[in-house]
Amino acid sequence: MSVTDRNDAEVGATDEESETPPDIEAISHVSDWKYIQIAIILAVITAAEVATYYIDTGPLEVPLLIAMMIAKFVLVIMWFMHLKFDSPLFTRTFVAGLAMAVVVYIAVLSMFEFWA
């Protein structure tokens, strides 16, 4: 298990920590302008998604929509939920649940021959 473990390094390492916790420290380096940029990108992708409702993209529609959905999803969890600069442990915890859900439920849908 590759959990970030302060104890591995040295006993007593916990004593020498800065006042600000590491996660809060990381967040304070991101400017509000960065968040606004991300939000603009999200808004543009959403507009593109809605556009597929009006413009016929043929067989590309579903892959395009899925790709845009994943892009939005990743942007939010990486930037707004700070996974980009936060502990990898959080990313692993969340991705474990997400991956478990995706794999298990795709298997269920396959059993019902959903994709046919």
Residues forming contacts to other proteins in the complex (CB under 8 A) are: 1, 3-8, 11-12, 14-15, 17, 21-24, 27-28, 30, 32, 35-36, 38-39, 42-43, 46, 49-50, 52-53, 61-62, 65-66, 68-69, 72-73, 76-77, 79-82, 87, 89-90, 93-94, 96-98, 100-102, 104-105, 108-114
The least distance separating other proteins from the CB of residue 56, rounded to whole angstroms, comes to 13
The least distance separating other proteins from the CB of residue 41, rounded to whole angstroms, comes to 11
Tokens of 8: 């591995």
The least distance separating other proteins from the CB of residue 25, rounded to whole angstroms, comes to 9
CA dist., res. 114 & res. 95, Å (int): 25
Residues 6+ positions from 5 with CB-CB distance below 8 Å: none
56 versus 94: smaller Cβ distance to other proteins: 94
- 92: amino acid identity, one letter: R
The least distance separating other proteins from the CB of residue 70, rounded to whole angstroms, comes to 9
Element (H, E) at 54: helix 32-54
> Per-residue DSSP letters for 56-70?
--GGGHHHHHHHHHH
- 33: amino acid identity, one letter: W
